[in-house]
Chains A and B, each alone.
Chain A
Amino acid sequence: MTSKFRIKRPIRKIKTILFILLLYIIIQLLMSFDIINPYFQKIICYAGIMIISALGLNLIYGFTGQFSLGHAAFFGIGAYASALITRLININHSLILLVGLFIAAGLSGIIAFVIGLPILRLRSDYLGIATLGFGIIVKVLFDNADAVIPILGGSRGMLGILPLTNFSWVYLFTILSIIFLFNLINSAIGRALISVREDEIAAEAVGVNTTKYKTLGFVIGSIYAGIAGGLYAHLYAFLHPSNFDFLKSIDVLLIVVLGGMASISGSIVAATLWVFLLEGLRVILPEAILDWRLVIYPLLLILIMIFRPEGIFGKREFKFLIYQEKSNVQ
């Protein structure tokens, strides 16, 4: 059996890499022949951004078990931070995006650390309310940011952001996000994070520093949100504080719960479905009942919760996202 595994592992790895490349090439080709129009290109990019953001929240809520309603705040911090930096540098080259994303990741990570240390002592509902409060504060700061830095635009919105995000960048960062999260949760650190969700007292009793791991999960998850926000800012080239209020946090939360808590596959599928359903219905539905899409969508939520309360995937994963250990003998 062992030898079979030794051969099987690399083959599966190669298959996965081929699949990733093929998907990229297909979408690129479809774009260059204009079969996917620019409008849908943006939707595809937005789906990737939502996947990154949802993976971040899944790490915080699904894997580590910390209920957060402040995810959109970190998304917004990343968006504004990177938009500001690229505007200040003001060179229209797509590599500048990396600088912006780096700042976005760093700032959301640092803020998550500073906020996380005091509030992660709280449990479930209380933590939810504290993060909600944080989200509202951040939103108010965005609303009034122009008082300090005029180009942030405050409640009028921020204009003049360089449109640096393209499909290739989003695809790259989505894939990296998936790989990093997959690697992280299949490590001793990941197991420690999960043990916090399973039973905090037992985790402490076996030597897991629960405060450290809760903060770690929160920081990494928020960095994911920050990067997603940075990509978002340079995709639509316009930011408005209302894009980062707590309802947006709920959207991400819904994606995580719908897809399946602690399921990477679930977050990927649910984020994609969510984006395409919202936008797709706009195209499919006739003009007269267009507004009904806002009814169809929550109705779908209710139905899924009734028939699949554990989410679309539960805790299951796609085959290529199931970790196979090196020394697995059985």
Chain B
Amino acid sequence: MSNNPYIILEIKKLSRNFGGLKAVADFNLILMPNELVGLIGPNGAGKTTVFNLITGMYKPTSGSIKFLGKEITNLKPHQIAQLGIARTFQNIRLFSSLSVLDNVRIAYSHKINYGVFDSLVHSPKFNIGEKIIREKSMAVLEILGLAHRASEIARNLPYGEQRKLEIARALVSEPKLLLLDEPGAGMNPKEIIDLMELISFIHEKFNLTIFLIEHQMRVVMGICERVIVMDFGEIISEGNPDEIQNDPAVIEAYLGSERKCIESEEVEDVA
């Protein structure tokens, strides 16, 4: 089981401390091919930390992460990205003064087969390589409906399209696993519906496993097959959207327990 290459991602007993704070504690997770799994939890529950651990931005205090049967726990972020884990960021991180096309092309850089010398003299090998990069990038932009924006500067795009561009950039190198960190943040209800359609669409089109953090319950409950709930760095519940919604532990994490409510009301009364 432990070296099963059919498992996309296998996280075992993953922990990360910041000083005395346990940001993530004893986190276990298995993602199977083609799953679409949601990760929810109140602010500060450690969701983004989990993403940063998977992508190598943070080193875990303990535990292990395996991707397609390969240990990736101590690899550098770019190595993990090159293996096929792509991500987006909670607060969009584009190469904002570059063109839309260049943003996507940069994410394909590591797949090029020409070197420094070819670049210096623009050799035939360079021309072939550039053609491939360009075609791949334009194809992804086309799919996400951004092809007509290719030559625009990324920071000039409207917010929703910047989110899309970040997803396009993540998809161009054909990852096996896509991590979306709050893709719906700052979107209005209509944009949220478009987003849900987009996620379902790329999920099928690219044959991807998607793991997403989301605050908007509508997104999680609408498209995720399985939901994991975190609080204080630990998994407190796991199951399909219906099960989650009725789990007392989840309700407590989000709304507080009945007793706590009364206590806080009393405090308010006194105040």
Contacts and interface: CB of A to CB of B under 8 A. Distances in A.
A208 B110 contact: yes
B107 A207 contact: yes
A86 interface: no
A187 B81 contact: no
Interface string B155-178: 000000000000001100100000
B109 A191 contact: yes
A326 B107 contact: no
Contacts of B82: 207
Interface string A315-329: 100000000011100
Interface in A139-197: 180, 183-184, 187-192, 194-195
B47 interface: no
A210 interface: yes
Contacts of B106: 191-192, 194-195, 203, 206, 208
A187 B126 contact: yes
A188 B130 contact: yes
B119 A209 contact: no
A201 B90 CA distance: 13
Contacts of A183: 119-122
A195 B110 contact: no
A199 B93 CA distance: 7
Nearest to B148: A330
Interface residues of B, number: 43
B214 to A, nearest CB: 19
B48 interface: no
A216 B127 contact: no
Contacts of A192: 106, 109
B80 to A, nearest CB: 9
A180 B120 contact: yes
B131 A326 contact: yes
Contacts of B218: none
A202 to B, nearest CB: 4
B95 A204 contact: no
Contacts of B98: 191, 194-195, 198
Given A191-B106, A191-B109, A198-B95, A204 B76 contact: yes
Contact of B119 (A190, A203, A204, A208): A190
A188 B112 contact: yes
Contacts of A191: 98, 102, 105-106, 109
Contacts of B119: 183-184, 187-190
A207 to B, nearest CB: 4
Contacts of B97: 198, 315
Given A198-B96, A326-B131, A206 B57 contact: no
Interface in A282-330: 315, 325-327, 330
A308 B57 CA distance: 38
Interface residues of A, number: 30
A206 B55 CA distance: 10
Given A198-B95, A207-B110, A327 B78 contact: no
B78 A194 contact: no
A210 B96 contact: no
A216 B119 CA distance: 13
Contacts of B95: 194-195, 198-199, 202-203
Contacts of A204: 57, 76-78, 81
B226 interface: no
Contact of B81 (A194, A206, A326): A206
A205 interface: yes
B185 interface: no
Nearest to A262: B97
Contact of A330 (B79, B93, B151, B170): B151
Contact of A327 (B81, B89, B94, B131): B131
Contacts of B93: 199, 201-202, 205
Interface of B: 55, 57, 76-79, 81-82, 86-87, 89, 93-98, 102, 105-110, 112, 114, 116, 118-122, 126-127, 129-131, 133-134, 151, 169-170, 173
Given A191-B102, A198-B98, A205-B87, 15 more contacts: A188-B114, A188-B130, A191-B106, A191-B109, A194-B95, A199-B94, A203-B95, A203-B106, A205-B81, A205-B86, A206-B81, A206-B107, A207-B82, A220-B116, A326-B130
9 contacts: A184-B119, A187-B126, A188-B105, A188-B129, A198-B95, A209-B78, A325-B130, A326-B131, A327-B134
Listed from nearest, the 9 A-B pairs whose CB atoms lie closest are A187-B119, A206-B107, A207-B81, A198-B95, A204-B77, A202-B93, A207-B110, A195-B106, A207-B82
